[in-house]
Amino acid sequence: MSKIIYPDSHIPAELSEEVIREDSMRPTMKWGRSTQLWLGFLFMVFGWGLYAYIHQLRHGLGETAMRNYVSWGLYISTFVFFIGISHSGTLVSAILRITKQDWRMPITRIAELMTFVSLCFGGLMPIIDLGRADRIANLVIFGRVQSPLMWDVMSIVTYFTGSTIFLWLPMIPDMGLMRDRLTVVDTPFKKFKKWLYKTLAIGWTGSKSQWKRLELVMTIMTIIIIPVAVSVHTVVSYIFAMTLRPGWNSTIFGPYFVAGALYSGSAVVILAMVIFRKLYHLEKYITYRHFDLMGRVVLSLTLIYGYLNLNEYWIPAYKMATSEGHLLHDLFSGSYSTAFWLCQFGTVLFPIVVMCFPKGRTPGALTVVCIFIAIGAWVKRYLIVVPTLLHPFLPIQDVPLTWSQYFPNWVEWSVTMAAFSGMVIIVTLYAKFFPMMSMWEVVHGAHIEESKRVAFEKVEHAEEINEAKTNHKKATVVG
């Protein structure tokens, strides 16, 4: 009898709990030379950025390329980009959880981690951009709730807290397991890990009531985190949309930013999936099926984002109102046209076309597409922030050349790269201490798959019997 394969198998049902756990935890047992070299490189980049930031603190923001017209530059663009990436966790983890998409289980941890790290540094970018970071306490002492920037502070702090809890909650059973397992295995940083796992497991024993409570809290968090995530990127767009400036003065900025965030965020999750699948040999868990489904998710999000892009540019472009016209001319055919059209075609149209084909949703093709999308999303944020500032209502006349044009200088690049490397440092360290798959969820998923398979086999079997019966009947009738 040939093996019946359940057609929509996302999680390897044939794998035992032990194998799943071993595969998840194996990378945390090693602290190899390559890890050290990699972290050393990242810390070098980070350290250089830190030096650049201290330089900026000592001599003022005049050390950046920003001047009076372009008063927001690479920092704020990167801020918007990072906050966008942070939507990945909510999408994959919360939205797929609430819609009971069981295939999400091997990739939820990756997505939640992406949210956490991008928020860590996303939240830092505006502080790096402050002229007087030393007065940050004024936000509390003199805070005005009428200011869009204050909405940002409130929603990002809420979202950061929420997604940290959301990352940690599903880790609790895993932490309990790893804490107990430490007594039998040998691993680097054993003492630290002992403390770490014990603290994070908060006395997890795996009793029935604990499982029940965990399930309940996770359901509550899932419901809470979705509107919070939507609010975050909406209010991030409001720091622009609440001004009168041509290019920002737009009513679709909220949904436009949220769509852009989900689109770039899920692309980055795919990239992280590709990397960890390869590095940690998770091919059995993160399958072609996952890439296909995530590809569909990104495809639909790209379609929404592309549609909003059309609205954002086509409507004012048709009318060409004076002030907006100057900006649009610059974007369509002026100094920013190359970047603008590369963004529109390379990171919207091209991904849509590629991902429409099943072959375009395989890991290889998706890697290319998602790199395009991620870089494109970043460039797009820059194109939203900078050209608008260079097209104020009143003409730019008789000012130093440095005021009337902008390109980030070494300080801004170094600090921004430090933020990126900081993100990767946290991801790397996380992956060295915690399993990159939510073990109990994958096990749970495998159980679900197993029961589905059994049910499927039963149906198949029943059909076979029915068929046999009918044949038998037919035979008797004929006989």
Partner 1 sequence: MIDQNEQNGNGSGAESKATGRRNFLKFGALAAGLTVVGGGLQKVLSQDKKENPDTTVFTRDGKVFKADKACLHEYTAPPVTNAEARIGIPGKKFTMVFDLAKCDGCKKCTESCQAMHFTESDREWIKVYKMKDAETTASYYMPKPCMHCDNPPCTKVCPVGATFKREDGIVLIDDDRCIGCRSCMAACPYSARFFNWSDPMQPVAVANIPYSPEHGFPRQRGTTEKCDFCPHMIREGKMPACVSGCPMQAIYFGDQNEDAVTNSAGVTVKFSQLLEDNSAYRLLEELGTEPRVYYLPPKNRKYPKPDMESIGKENKIEGGKSDTGMGNMAM
DSSP label of 95: I
**Buried b vs exposed e over 419-445: b needs ≥16 C-beta within 10 Å?**
bbbbbbbbbeebbbbbbbbbbbbbbbb
CB 53 within 8 A of CB 123: no
Task: Tell me if 389 contacts partner 1 by CB under 8 A.
Answer: yes
Task: Tell me if 187 contacts partner 1 by CB under 8 A.
Answer: no
Q: Which of 6, 313, 403, 430 binds partner 1 (CB under 8 A)?
A: 403
DSSP 250-274: -TTHHHHHHHHHHHHHHHHHHHHHH
Of the candidate spans 99-107, 215-223, 321-329, 354-362, the one that interacts with partner 1 by CB under 8 A turns out to be: 321-329
Phi, psi of 336 (to 5 degrees): -100, 10
Task: Tell me if 60 contacts partner 1 by CB under 8 A.
Answer: yes
Q: Which of 166, 240, 263, 378 binds partner 1 (CB under 8 A)?
A: 240
CA distance 193 to 179: 8
For residue 408 the two structure tokens come to 């980030």
Q: Which of 40, 100, 251, 398 binds partner 1 (CB under 8 A)?
A: 398
Task: Tell me if 202 contacts partner 1 by CB under 8 A.
Answer: no
Q: Which of 148, 188, 255, 306 binds partner 1 (CB under 8 A)?
A: 148
Judged by DSSP in three states, 246 sits in coil
H-helix or E-strand containing 147?
A: none
Q: Which of 39, 50, 120, 150 binds partner 1 (CB under 8 A)?
A: 150
Q: How far is CA 93 from the centre of its chain?
A: 10
User: CB-based contacts of 132: which residues, under 8 Å, 6+ apart?
Assistant: none
CB 177 within 8 A of CB 439: yes
Q: Which is nearer to partner 1, 310 or 399 (CB)?
A: 399
Q: Which of 44, 136, 315, 459 binds partner 1 (CB under 8 A)?
A: 136
**In degrees to the nearest 10, what's the CA dihedral of 330, 334, 335, 341?**
90
The end-to-end CA distance of the chain, in Å, is 29
Task: Tell me if 58 contacts partner 1 by CB under 8 A.
Answer: no
Q: Considering CB under 8 A, how many residues would be counted as binding partner 1?
A: 58
Task: Tell me if 244 contacts partner 1 by CB under 8 A.
Answer: yes
Nearest distance from residue 332's CB to partner 1, in Å?
14
CA distance 338 to 350: 16
Stretch 433-462: interaction string toward partner 1, x if CB under 8 A: ------------------------------
User: CB-based contacts of 256: which residues, under 8 Å, 6+ apart?
Assistant: 237, 250, 305, 308, 309, 311, 312
CB 343 within 8 A of CB 384: no
CA distance 436 to 26: 10
Q: Which is nearer to partner 1, 218 or 239 (CB)?
A: 239
Task: Tell me if 397 contacts partner 1 by CB under 8 A.
Answer: yes
Q: Which is nearer to partner 1, 132 or 191 (CB)?
A: 132
Stretch 264-303: interaction string toward partner 1, x if CB under 8 A: ----------------------------------------
Q: Which is nearer to partner 1, 59 or 281 (CB)?
A: 59
Task: Tell me if 205 contacts partner 1 by CB under 8 A.
Answer: no
CB 434 within 8 A of CB 93: no
CB 63 within 8 A of CB 54: no
Stretch 337-376: interaction string toward partner 1, x if CB under 8 A: ----------------------------------------
Task: Tell me if 323 contacts partner 1 by CB under 8 A.
Answer: yes
Task: Tell me if 311 contacts partner 1 by CB under 8 A.
Answer: no
Neighbours of 133 (CB within 10 A): 13
Task: Tell me if 111 contacts partner 1 by CB under 8 A.
Answer: no
Q: Which of 46, 72, 276, 406 binds partner 1 (CB under 8 A)?
A: 72
Task: Tell me if 142 contacts partner 1 by CB under 8 A.
Answer: yes
For residue 295 the two structure tokens come to 């590809």
Nearest distance from residue 329's CB to partner 1, in Å?
8
* Residues binding partner 1 (CB under 8 A): 59-64, 66-69, 71-72, 126, 129-133, 135-136, 138-139, 141-144, 146-150, 153, 239-240, 242-245, 322-323, 326, 329, 389, 391-405
